[in-house]
Amino acid sequence: MKAIVIGSGLGGLLSAAKLSKKGYDIEVFERLPIIGGRFTNIPYKGFQLSTGALHMLPHGPAGPLAQLLEDVGADVEIIRRKPIAVIRIPRKKGDTDYKYGHKDLLFENFRTPFTLLNRIKLMYYVVSTRKNPPSGQSFRQWCQKHLQQDWTYRISDSFFGWALSLKAADVPAEEAFAIIENLYHHGGPGVPMGGCKAITDALANIVQSHGGIIHVSSEVTRINTKDGKAISVTVDGKEHPADIIISDIGHNATAELIYEKEGIAGMADYISKAKDLRPSAGIKICLSSDKPLIGHGGVLLTPYAKRVNGINEVTNIDPSLAPEGKHLTMAHQCVHWDDINDLEKEIELGLEDLKDIFAGKEYEVLLIQSYSNEWPVNRSPSGADLNNRTPVPNLYVVGDGAKGKGGIEIEGIALGVQNCVQEIMVRD
């Protein structure tokens, strides 16, 4: 059986590696001159910056991605160290300025700032929602109903801003509880040694070692159909036939490539749902310093910052991501859809936050990257993902436009790929 994969991002390469191991004949087409999409490294001034991700796996060595990597035999070391996350709070009650002193609260103690009543309520809701997750409301709406306190909004915006690049008001409560459940189940984040590239390169090696071919600088311009079924893709004017086509470019871009859509049942509904998906946007600010700014390999959540949601310093786990004697620190901030046309102002606010958070410390801003539209943080906002199927038999979608339920970013991609491959296996 022949499978063609459109795009060599993490979703495409995971699918290609998994199907290679199952004996499929694989061909991957990538339009850029490099593989890895938003999950590879950019060497810059001796640092290993990245095309997207912050060199961090949300559930470290125990999550769905780590399991899938082990399953396909990818040789990657993923390190998780304590603390997995801390929360930075201004020292004085009611103060919102880190400059005048702050304390770092361990993530597992995030309940401490709640009133006693809210702590009791929280315990009750965590147990009761497991069996009966709330639906038809956002996580913020759920909080407004049950845990009205400034702290609830701050910590949830900071956590979901960091993890999903969304505000709590844009995360469906049901998805939020599935994510929380997964956090309890799989644990917190970890860093792949060698950064994102170590993972995508290992996957590409597996594909190639099974005889698969990965073409770079090769854009798929058309998905061809016959009798309503996907039969081939067109690259540089040449048609490449396949039994299965897996697209890693999101539902919307995939729908646009389908040639001859007329007469395919469910196509109009599919196109309209795919168009409705609003990619989540964000800004990443990469810093260099001689001395550590954070001092551990976990996440620093910053619920009192104006824009920055969280920061990590991956060199505390993998020093090879920076030149000797230097540290690489990366701050992430969610950009709400309303602010997408004013990225310069958002960047300025992010930089002001960093001055505040790291007041008195020396650092250099290495690179500022913004992500939206075609190169977003997530193609589909979490909780709104369509599944891996399309109305066209033989055509599937993977990647962060088709994440599995409760899967944060690449963990959701891994869940989606597992599901997609299972569907293909049942079919074949």
Ligand X SMILES: Cc1cc2nc3c(=O)[nH]c(=O)nc-3n(C[C@H](O)[C@H](O)[C@H](O)COP(=O)(O)OP(=O)(O)OC[C@H]3O[C@@H](n4cnc5c(N)ncnc54)[C@H](O)[C@@H]3O)c2cc1C
Q: Binding residues for ligand X, per CB under 6 A?
A: 6-12, 29-32, 37-39, 52-54, 56-58, 219-220, 248-249, 282, 284, 332, 371, 377-378, 399-400, 409-410, 413
Structure tokens at 352: 């002001």
CB of 239 to ligand X, least distance (A): 14
Please give the single-letter amino acid code of residue 279: P
Burial 49-80 (b: 16+ CB within 10 A, else e): bbbbbbbbbbbbbbbbbbbbbeebebebebeb
Block residue for tokens 């964000």? 282
Between 7 and 297, name the residue whose CB sits nearer to ligand X: 7
Between 118 and 182, name the residue whose CB sits nearer to ligand X: 182
DSSP 199-213: HHHHHHHHHHHTT-E
CB of 1 to ligand X, least distance (A): 21
Spatial separation of the C-alpha atoms in residues 182 and 200, rounded to whole Å:
24
Between 57 and 105, name the residue whose CB sits nearer to ligand X: 57
Between 67 and 149, name the residue whose CB sits nearer to ligand X: 67
- Report the DSSP pairing between strands 299-301 and 310-312: antiparallel
CB of 267 to ligand X, least distance (A): 19
Spatial separation of the C-alpha atoms in residues 42 and 193, rounded to whole Å:
15
Output phi, psi for 6, to 5 deg.
-100, 110
CB of 32 to ligand X, least distance (A): 4
Between 95 and 256, name the residue whose CB sits nearer to ligand X: 256
Between 156 and 382, name the residue whose CB sits nearer to ligand X: 382
Spatial separation of the C-alpha atoms in residues 179 and 125, rounded to whole Å:
15
CB of 51 to ligand X, least distance (A): 7
CB of 90 to ligand X, least distance (A): 26
List the beta bridge partners of residue 223: 233, 258
Spatial separation of the C-alpha atoms in residues 169 and 175, rounded to whole Å:
12
